[in-house]
Amino acid sequence: MAISVDSNAESRKLCQDQGYTFPFLSDPKAEVIRRYGVLHAGAGENGRDIARPAEFLVDAAGTIRTVNLTDDIRVRARPEIVLREIDYLQRPAGD
């Protein structure tokens, strides 16, 4: 899931243009973005507040297990690293 300050229409267009198939939450007032502590104040176009690039790995109980947080939109968690973290979290205790 992605969370953005963009409108639903902007997010829908981005998903279509980029081929994303996961859901986007529109958070134009950045309420959820603030709650997760990833607000990048004034960093958007025309000084608009946006979300900092971040990936959260959340388990089935809703506990945040890992966070990748950056100020650079070009820096993202590599898919193979995220998949390795998921595999690790799914291992039985003691393994």
**In the chain, domain spans:** 2-90
What is the model's pLDDT at position 83? 87
Please give the CATH architecture assigned to the domain spanning 2-90: 3-Layer(aba) Sandwich (3.40)
Q: Which residues lie closer than 8 Å to 2 by C-beta, 6 or more apart? A: 11, 20, 22, 23, 24, 25
Full pLDDT tens readout for the chain, 95 residues: 888 888 999 999 999 999 989 888 899 899 999 998 888 888 888 888 888 888 888 888 888 888 888 777 777 778 888 888 888 888 776 66
What is the model's pLDDT at position 9? 94
What is the model's pLDDT at position 94? 65
Instruction: For residue 67, give the amino acid letter.
Output: V
